[in-house]
Structure 1
């Protein structure tokens, strides 16, 4: 097996069980390895440390499959890892409670570069690194056997594959396309899912619990949902008895999906919902001039900072949008504000929001810190897995 020899001192991150090995940590590769091949990882003194997947085109040159340097990486290995990930969700009651559940969450489930989301009897799979790309057949087979899913759609088309030197891969990997549009029941609300053309794997499952919190806060309140996509927060607000809900997105197709979702829920009062196709920043500035006010504002923008290199520019965007949000809140109103940017940590995000409140002249307090649900676990040795962070803030 090829051997990946580290530079002196670069083994410390592996002792902390961090699964990424960067280009700058590597002394040399002994032997030949193709993208995705398994390599033995050795300390500078030759001590075996782990077995990892080789990725010669990426700055992350290897991702650890196992810190057992004798582990056999084969089909059975992936069956065990998939089985363990599914079993953890089953033990928490998530598989029975929700149609939409993340089954595999990459590094935090011991499968770097693997994302699998279940929507009813359909699984959407993303393989974002060279290692899982090589083991596609084993991963698909394990998911099919261990979950009983009728079909698996591969959605390996994210930009990060380009950094790995991998071409996009999409299509039905197991089973056939369903005969009817795919939808899920999320906490009593019916929502459409487009695994082929929708964002991510078709939907934002990471916000499921936070959408339920919106429902719990919405009764009798005027709600503004910014960057609403297909209306998940909006519909939960309506289900919670909101007085009115204004939802904004710059995408006409996304808003069409939101209206379709509302139509699938005849128990919700469509007369209380308004949909606006507009740039959110511009729309909020118009609302400010018009002196419009809301009792509950949801700010769930797209990823402003995909990496730490973009953090400064992203910080300005987060500051701007939260400043506008604070200025539009009624006294006693709630701001639910989020960042899904890996380059913006929780501490920095809280500082940005605090600065926005000061500039808006609002006294405010954090009622709750918000994150993804338990089907999106964060391994203690892999803090990068905590990409979604949010705050529930109340103003005076």
Structure 2
């Protein structure tokens, strides 16, 4: 019987190994000195330091700037179906501990890529359906084993594939959105969050259909909305707006978004929760809509500013920072003295320090002092893994204008 062929070896350049000994999972092409043997996307490789010392096992993608994603730092543990099954199991075990048999267990993130040691895979649960998103062409080559593990653990009715904008090009992914297992999801289904009902569209909605990462922050807004006139900017399908309006003492909510389809869904969510009389939805670009409100002399007691990702690449960071400063300046102008602002950034290239400075600059430009009361972040089903700081992507500051 022939012995198995040795795995290709990727040898790193001198002084490039430390992050990977510390278990950061992304090996960029610029860190690699040479690769022995021929490789195809999805092949397993051994990564070694310049002196030949073993570091980790990973999957290679010759078409991606993230050339190798690392999954095992044990030389004796291959990247096979057994490993993927174990990783899926441990990810789901965390959500079971977090949510038990509550409604949140049926509407949450089940697998969060690097944080669950499955770099390049995101899985969200919507009742009896799962939505899978690949951000790694290398890991996608192992789709069958991972889907089999999900089916065994969750027993869903169906699994739907969604692809993030731009990822196909960046990763060389040759896949199309659609059903990959079981039954197709209904075009409209209802999930429960914070005792509210939300209609979601898994097939055409943004990302995987709903932003679970802001769940805890929406509870904060619910509590602050007593006796408040609220402005929700970039409301999408109304989740912040309805959490505010569901406070019995909330006075009113104005929610703006540029997407007609999102606003249509938001209005149906308001109707379903009996909150339509409290919430006004307005189609408007965030910058134009807030500028018009400033010109009208409108004031609010509570503002939520949760724009989509403004910095998709490091090259776009400078432009994004200017946009964030402008948005926050407008929000600060629209607040009553003593009013509250929850301002958010989901742009991974914008660091917490960057975002702090953005708020400081906006405060300075408007000439109104701002207190930062609390630094918030993503919900616990979006854990941050210590070896990969990039998994801490959501910045959310609860602020108060004091003048």
Matched, 1:387 2:390: no
Any gaps of 5 or more consecutive residues in structure 2? 1-6
User: Structure 1's 179 and 155: CA in aligned 2 closer, same or farther, altered over 3 A?
Assistant: closer
Q: Give the drift of 1:198.
A: 0.6
Q: Which residue of 1 aligns with 2:8?
A: 2
Q: Which residue of 1 aligns with 2:78?
A: 72
Distance 1:76 1:158 in 2: 31
Residue of 243, 257, 278 corresponding to 1:249: 257
Q: Alpha carbon RMSD of aligned pairs, Å?
A: 1.3
C-alpha distance after superposition, 1:183-242 (max 9, x if no partner): 100011100111111111011111111111111111120000001111000111111132
User: Structure 1's 80 and 119: CA in aligned 2 closer, same or farther, altered over 3 A?
Assistant: same
Distance 2:165 2:176 in 1: 9
Aligned partners of 1:189 and 1:265 also within 8 Å: yes
Q: Give the drift of 1:70.
A: 2.1
Q: Give the drift of 1:77.
A: 0.9
Q: Give the drift of 1:308.
A: 2.1
Distance 1:144 1:225 in 2: 38
Q: Which residue of 1 aligns with 2:4?
A: none
Aligned partners of 1:55 and 1:62 also within 8 Å: yes
Aligned partners of 1:38 and 1:54 also within 8 Å: yes
Greater shift in the superposed pair: 20-29 or 165-174: 165-174
Aligned partners of 1:244 and 1:273 also within 8 Å: yes
Q: Which residue of 2 aligns with 1:261?
A: 269
Q: Give the drift of 1:127.
A: 1.0
Matches within 5 A, 1:1-396: 1-93=7-99, 96-98=102-104, 99-178=106-185, 181-241=188-248, 242-266=250-274, 268=275, 270-396=276-402
Aligned partners of 1:230 and 1:255 also within 8 Å: yes
User: Structure 1's 130 and 95: CA in aligned 2 closer, same or farther, altered over 3 A?
Assistant: farther
Q: Give the drift of 1:181.
A: 2.3
User: Structure 1's 211 and 94: CA in aligned 2 closer, same or farther, altered over 3 A?
Assistant: farther
Q: Give the drift of 1:158.
A: 3.3
Distance 1:131 1:285 in 2: 45
Q: Give the drift of 1:43.
A: 1.1
SS of aligned partner of 2:315: helix
What TM-score, normalized by structure 2, do the two folds share?
0.95
SS of aligned partner of 1:92: helix
Aligned partners of 1:337 and 1:392 also within 8 Å: yes
Distance 1:58 1:120 in 2: 34
Aligned partners of 1:21 and 1:63 also within 8 Å: yes
Q: Give the drift of 1:180.
A: 6.8
Question: What is the total number of aligned residue pairs between the two structures?
Answer: 394
Q: Give the drift of 1:253.
A: 0.8
SS of aligned partner of 1:327: helix
C-alpha distance after superposition, 1:357-395 (max 9, x if no partner): 122121221111111100000101100011111100011
Aligned partners of 2:9 and 2:36 also within 8 Å: yes
Greater shift in the superposed pair: 179-188 or 305-314: 179-188
What TM-score, normalized by structure 1, do the two folds share?
0.97
Distance 1:183 1:309 in 2: 39
Any gaps of 5 or more consecutive residues in structure 1? none
